[in-house]
Chain A
Amino acid sequence: MNGIIEVENLSFGYYAGEILKDLNFEVTPGKFVGIAGPNGAGKTTLLNLLCGLLRPKAGSIRINSARIESYSVKKLAQKVAVVRQEFVPVFDFTVAETVSMARTPYLGTFGFESKTDKKFIAEALEMTDTAQFASRPLAQLSGGERQRVFIARALAQNTAILLLDEPTSFLDLKHQVGIYDLLKKMQQEYGKTIVAVTHDINLTIQYADEALLLGTDSNYHIGKTKDVFSQQQIEKVFGVRTFTGRVGQESFFLPLGKFAKDNQTITSKPPSSQQK
């Protein structure tokens, strides 16, 4: 195996039962992997295992070929950055102060940033387009802007791996796409390995290279996104019928509930060529 993340026979459960059972997969460097699955399937649990917050019950996780337990908290934070759902902190930190915290794993005893640290921070602010409001408190930003700040912080952390837990949950369509565009840019320009937990299958299909679909019965599917997500697979795992449409080579899925309008009226359309 030569993955940057290697998961072998991983099992985990909070109490008696197991949420994740015998999970095996690896992530090759520079790939964008989406983790999908119904609520309670263990998506966030898996993410917390991958960032060392939880310890496996059985099996192993390797980061850069070394077992995750062998890293100190500080060393692991130099390899893996985590972005969770955006929130407003208790105290009124500014954008720049928040992004500066990314450099903690590299700081000395009293924690003052060096020139190199400042370079990383400035670059992260520029890259994520957050430099314009660098001196504003986080509370004054919109949810989408705040999420960009947290991504900027992860970028300034200068890690090879970036883990995200539902980064677009509370964002509108424009900001959802904006965040995924930003992640794609980070993958392409900086060669970051990105693992994102998400509820949005369609965004995953659009942006991710590979996907891991976790089921509630400890079954899972991993592979190219187009192989993992199919109408039958989604119906089986989520218990929801979908309408499938195609845009170019990719299939996209629209969930249909009991009261969904007549399926006949939904037609698939290729993207308009005039649209930009």
Chain B
Amino acid sequence: MAEFLTAKKLAIKVVICLAVLAVVMALCTLTGKIRPPEGPRKISLEKVLAGPGQTPGENIDYEILVGIRLPRVILAALVGAALACSGVVLQAILRNPLADPYILGISSGAGLGVITAVISGVTWSFWGGSPIALFAFAGATLTVWLVWYIGRLTGKSQVTTLLLAGVVINAFFSAVIMFLTSIAKSDQVHSTLLWLMGNITEKSFAVLWVSAGCILAGMFGLFSICHRLNILTFGEEEAKGLGVDTEKTKVVAFGFAALITAIAVSLSGLIGFVGLIIPHGVRLVFGPDHRQLLPVSAIIGSAFLVVADTIARIIVAPAQLPVGVITAIAGGPFFLVLLARYTRKVSWLK
């Protein structure tokens, strides 16, 4: 007799994955040298555990670990989870394993927002962060709304119309971005390019907590429709026949997926591959049941991006690489290995 996924089994798997993620995050926080004036050295765990000093600069190990590295690792984890979740959901709704979080125009919309911010030279800050994030978020959400609106012109939200609208808007906005880039000054171009490559940098805790709250809420919303997503992958007629309110499910899915992607993009730029290969990889190993696929992908996506960002931080230290470069270079081969090894043979993982 076949085995069923139960809430208990799922909870056990999720807890195990979370434990692994916690270890990965801890190790990544400790990885890499710090460079105080007396010369580069490893971070001292002893000093960190001693707590903050009386005056700033007294315990530099603590300050770097808690004040700089920890928020960065948390940020990477959040962005990784958001992109992986969004990828899972869009692949299901569009019934297309090639869909990624950017397919509905979020990437180009956010990109347009960013280059607008850079060129117009806005300088005011927002919660201690740069206005670029805000422009990216606005660009992304407006574009998704536009794609959704165009997709519905033909009546109900047809999957193919949405995909086409996304592709067309992406192409059009990319052209506008290229135009703006070609007339911008070179230093402005550099910061835009860096953003387009995906770049995780330190953010204030205020920004982190707000983003974390929104992303976790979005993921929870998506988790609540997972069993409906399973059926939607069989097609809308099938889903309706099995009692799924397909329009409502699609609105919830697109809404939350767009929200968490827009937040992720505004935090870290365009990080490719995570939203595409993590859902694929997890599906190959754990199977396509979304009730399991979504939470596990979120956690694996987190761990993957935390590791990728750590590599980006240390590989050419003291300089840093954009993390998008690492995810693309590491992600491709890693995925090919997965594809070759697993055709859902690993029975204990199911």
Contacts and interface: CB of A to CB of B under 8 A. Distances in A.
Nearest to A112: B7
Contacts of A258: none
A97 B288 CA distance: 9
Interface stretch (A129-137, A206-214, A219-227, A246-254): A129-137
A77 B4 CA distance: 22
Interface string B20-50: 0000000000000000000000000000000
Given A51-B241, A76-B243, A105-B243, A93 B288 contact: yes
Nearest to B92: A91
A101 interface: yes
Interface residues of B, number: 34
A102 B242 contact: yes
Contacts, number: 106
A50 to B, nearest CB: 11
Interface string A60-74: 000000000000111
B152 interface: no
A215 to B, nearest CB: 26
B97 A90 contact: yes
Contacts of A256: none
B1 A134 contact: yes
A104 B231 contact: yes
A100 B240 contact: no
Contacts of B96: 90
Interface string A74-102: 11111011101000011111111100111
B97 A104 contact: no
A91 B233 contact: yes
Contact of B243 (A78, A90, A121, A125): A78
A141 interface: no
A110 B245 contact: no
B227 A92 contact: no
B234 A89 contact: yes
A111 interface: yes
Given A92-B287, A96-B2, A104 B238 contact: no
Contact of A84 (B5, B6, B238, B289): B238
A52 B237 CA distance: 10
B228 A111 contact: yes
Given A74-B245, A104-B227, A111 B240 contact: no
A122 B283 contact: no
A45 to B, nearest CB: 13
Contact of A104 (B244, B288, B289): B244
B230 A93 contact: yes
A104 B291 contact: no
B287 A94 contact: yes
B287 A97 contact: yes
B283 A107 contact: no
Interface in B230-272: 230-231, 233-234, 237-238, 240-245
A161 B244 CA distance: 18
A73 B231 CA distance: 14
A203 interface: no
B137 interface: no
B2 A77 contact: no
A110 B220 CA distance: 10
B95 A110 contact: no
A101 B226 contact: no
A96 B233 CA distance: 16
B159 to A, nearest CB: 11
B2 A135 contact: yes
Nearest 7 interchain pairs by C-beta: A111-B227, A77-B243, A96-B2, A105-B243, A134-B2, A91-B288, A82-B241
14 contacts: A48-B237, A74-B243, A81-B241, A90-B97, A91-B92, A94-B2, A97-B230, A101-B227, A104-B242, A104-B244, A105-B242, A110-B223, A113-B6, A121-B4
Interface of B: 1-7, 92, 95-97, 223-224, 226-228, 230-231, 233-234, 237-238, 240-245, 283, 287-289, 291, 344
Given A91-B92, A101-B230, A111-B228, 9 more contacts: A73-B240, A76-B243, A82-B237, A91-B97, A93-B287, A94-B287, A102-B242, A110-B224, A125-B2
Interface of A: 48, 51-53, 72-78, 80-82, 84, 89-97, 100-102, 104-105, 107, 109-113, 118, 121-122, 125, 131, 134-135, 137, 157
